[in-house]
Structure 1
C-alpha cells in the first residue's frame, strides 16, 4: 500500500481531488416524501425488530470467530433503516470530471445500463439480500488551487448537485454527498448541504484522504479524520433525523490506511445513523484483500464497504477487478459496494 502513487486530476481550469486515490494505486429504498422538508414536530420512532436484525448481522459476519463481527453492544437502529436488509450498489464521481469516476464519464442512460448490470450480478451472488442503487456524488472537491479563502477545496454549485439527484431519480436511487474538506473543516462544510441532507433519500460521506489537518496540500500526502470528526457528522445527521422525522441516515467513511481514521473505539453510535467504513484502495486483488483485513476487519465500527475501480484495479495485468463471487466471501461481507 505504501508504494501507491499520488496524482492530482485536472478538470477544466481547476485541479480536482477525488482521484488521487493514493493508496488507491491500491477508488430500495422507499423514497416516499423524499423531497419533503417538513418541519413537523418530532415523533417517537421505534427500533427495528431485534431478532430479524441480529440474523442479518450474523449472515454478514460470515462465520467470523474473532469476536469482532458483528459489532456488539450497539443500539438497534430505528425503523426504516436500509442496512443490513439491503445491499447498496453505488456509482461514484463528479459531473465535472471524466477522470474522477463513472458519474462524469458516461451519459445517464449508459450509466444506468451499467449500474443495473452490476446490481444483477450482486443479486445473483446473494439472493437473500435485495440490492438498491446509489449515486455517490463528490459535492465538495479537494483541488490544487487554494481558492479565494485558501482552503484548497471547491464546493459544487447547487445546479450540479441537483443534476446528480436527477440522475438518481431515473433509477429510484438513494444519494450520497461526499465531502473532501482539504484545508477546510467538516463543521464548515456539512451544514451547507443541509438542504439536501433533510431529504429522506440523501446521505453523507466523508473522505479522510483529503483532510489535511497539518496544512499540507491535498494529494501530497494522505490526510486523516479522528473519531471526533466522525462523531460531529453522525450527531449532525442524528439531529436532522429527529427534527424532521426522517428514516435513519447512512454515513460513509472512506479508509485505506491506518492513519486515515484515528481513535476508532471512540466513535459514537446513534440509532438514527448507520455507519459504513468503506475500503477505498485500488490495485491488485491481494493488496485490496490485505487492506480490508488490516484496516476494515480489524477495527470494526458497524458496517463495511468495498470500492472497485474499473480502470485502476486492472492497470497491471494479470490483475483484475474483484467480482461479486469473490467479495461475498469476505469476513464480514461488505454491504456497501462502490464503483469508480
Structure 2
C-alpha cells in the first residue's frame, strides 16, 4: 500500500466494527487510557488484555520521548491467545493509532519450536507453550522491539492465473532489547504468512533470478495465516501490506506479551495450584488450560542443545532440485 493512501486506509479502519463486548472494569484500571480505546480492553475475542495494552503504550511513549519513533501508530501482540477461536481466525496482533482513534485486531503466527532428542520445545497449532530467545529455536520471544528496515527477496516461481509468477516476500526487521536484543542475530521480524514449498526447477535463462545454469526454482504456494512460524511474526498478505506501508521509513514500537518473567510467574502459580488471575497474572484461559504449564527456555540453556543437534546432522553434498516436467 503506498504511503499516500495511509490516511484513507486509517479512515476505513475507524469505520470497521470490532467484535467482543467491552470489559469496563479492566479498562478503568488505567485511567489515562482514552475512553474510545478503553472500550477495546478486555480478554474477549477482538480485545486486548489490560497488561498487554499498558506495556505496549508504555514502550511506545518511552521510545517517543527518546525520539526513537515518530510514527502515530504502535503495534502489539498477545502470544498467549489461540490461533483459532470458535472456528474463526484468532486475533492476537494489534495496530493502535490513538490520534486517529484506530484499533485493529488481526491474526498473527507464533514460533513452532523444535522437537529434539534432548529437549522437546515444540508448540501445537492452537496455543504456544514454549518460548525462547535461543538462535535456531524457532520460538517467539516476548518483550520490546522497534521496527527497522525492510528487505524484499525473491523466493521462486509459482502458478497464478495459469502462469508461472515470481513470488517476492518483504521482511520487516525488528530491533530488540533485553531478552529480545538478539533479534537480528536470530533473523526475527515480520512478514506475510506465505512461503513457497519448492518442488522442482525449470530453465528460464531470461529471468533475472536464474542461476548460473539458467534455472529458477518452482513450487507450491502455502498460506499459513494464523498458524505457526519459524519464530517470526507473520500476518495475512493484506495485513502485511498495510503494516509494511505503515512502518516504511517510519519505525514504531512492537510489544509482544508474555516476557520471560511473566512465563516463569505463571508457571510457578500453576505448579502451586493457584489461579494466575487470582494472583494478578495474565494468560489466556483457554490456552493455559490446553498447554498446562508454559515454559521459557533461556538461550543459555537451550543454545548448547541446539548447537549439539546441528553438529550431529549428516554433512553431505548439496542436491539440486529435480527438473520440472
Name the structure with the higher helix share.
Answer: 1
TM range (shorter): under 0.3
Name the structure with the higher strand share.
Answer: 2
What TM-score, normalized by structure 2, do the two folds share?
0.27
- Larger CA Rg, structure 1 vs 2: 2
